[in-house]
Amino acid sequence: MTPEQLEELLLKIQQGETSIESGIERLSRLPFEDIGIAQLDHHRSLRQGAPEVVFGEGKTSAQLQAILTAMARSGANILITRLDIDKGTALHNQFPAGEFDADAGTFCLVQQPIVARGGKVLIVCAGTSDLPVAREAAVTAKMLGNPVEELVDVGVAGIHRLLAKGDTLREAAVIIVIAGMEGALPSVIGGLVSVPVIAVPTSVGYGAAFGGLAALLGMLNSCASGVTVVNIDNGFGAAFAANRINRCGQA
């Protein structure tokens, strides 16, 4: 129920066209989002130009194509994540206008121009094995309308390579730091900059890495104050959080 519909209902009551009983009835039943709490549905129907997001893992090619077909009609931009090469290729064959990024595991269908706004989102990763997660973060941040820069292979065991990138670090508005193994990079970067740092543990590593648990615990226990953490391999979530931060002072 839109404010206009509510106004119309009250008008009819005022004018006697609708009885008070039926007004009570209708008002008590209306869905909550109808009474002006606009943000309640924000994550489903995003603002003009923002993408619809589909989590691709665990869905079949057929399901994904059906969802994409339905969504595409709205003219919105669409981002599908966690696609393997078979599903991604199938989607691309069906929607040649879309772009499948095999490294990121993402499929993007851009139907409305995306204008990058806000500060730069810098995505740093420790090793080349962390690249898929970094790419997922980069694609997501771009689809959400953020300027993105990537910095790869700057792990803590070769700390000078990171320190040599002082300017790049200083120019970022938000930094996403992606690391597997011991997950120490966010602590070092968190100590070098004063902007928000979002840490993403990856499942890279073996033995006692326990599928990313070591990196996750390391990041949660970061000695650098103010580092926050998302789930293992969750490049999408980190970029989504970075976008929230980047939109912070813009409303």
User: Which one of residues 64, 126, 148, 151 is an interface residue with its own copies (CB under 8 A)?
Assistant: 126
Question: In this complex, which beta carbon is closest to its own copies, that of residue 41 or of residue 97?
Answer: 41
Q: Whose CA is closest to 217, among 199, 205, 234?
A: 199
CB of 215 to its own copies, least distance (A): 7
Name beta bridge partners: 150. Answer: 123
Using CB under 8 A as the binding rule, the residues of this chain from 187 to 246 that contact its own copies are 187-188, 190-198, 201, 203-234, 236-238, 240-241, 243-246
**C-alpha separations of 142 from 110, 116, 216 in Å:** 11, 7, 25
Question: In this complex, which beta carbon is closest to its own copies, that of residue 33 or of residue 74?
Answer: 33
Amino acid letter, 160: H
Q: Determine the angle formed by the axes of helices 235-246 and 131-143, rounding to 10 degrees.
A: 40
User: Which one of residues 121, 122, 148, 184 is an interface residue with its own copies (CB under 8 A)?
Assistant: 184
Point out which span in 2-10, 72-80, 94-102, 108-116 binds its own copies (CB under 8 A): 2-10
Using CB under 8 A as the binding rule, the residues of this chain from 19 to 58 that contact its own copies are 20, 23-24, 27-37, 39-44, 53, 55, 57-58
Residue 42 CB neighbour total at 10 angstroms? 10
CB of 113 to its own copies, least distance (A): 21
Question: In this complex, which beta carbon is closest to its own copies, that of residue 72 or of residue 179?
Answer: 179
How many residues contact its own copies, by CB under 8 A? Answer: 118
**C-alpha separations of 249 from 118, 178, 238 in Å:** 9, 25, 19
Q: What is the bridge-based pairing of β-strands 78-81 and 52-55?
A: parallel
Distance between CA atoms of residues 251 and 241, nearest Å: 16
Answer yes or no whether residue 124 interacts with its own copies by CB under 8 A: no
Question: In this complex, which beta carbon is closest to its own copies, that of residue 74 or of residue 231?
Answer: 231
Q: Are 107 and 84 in contact (CB under 8 A)?
A: no
Question: In this complex, which beta carbon is closest to its own copies, that of residue 97 or of residue 158?
Answer: 158
Using CB under 8 A as the binding rule, the residues of this chain from 80 to 119 that contact its own copies are 118-119
CB of 96 to its own copies, least distance (A): 26
Residue 62: Cβ-neighbour burial (10 angstroms; 0-12, 13-18, 19+): exposed
Question: In this complex, which beta carbon is closest to its own copies, that of residue 45 or of residue 93?
Answer: 45
Distance between CA atoms of residues 180 and 171, nearest Å: 25
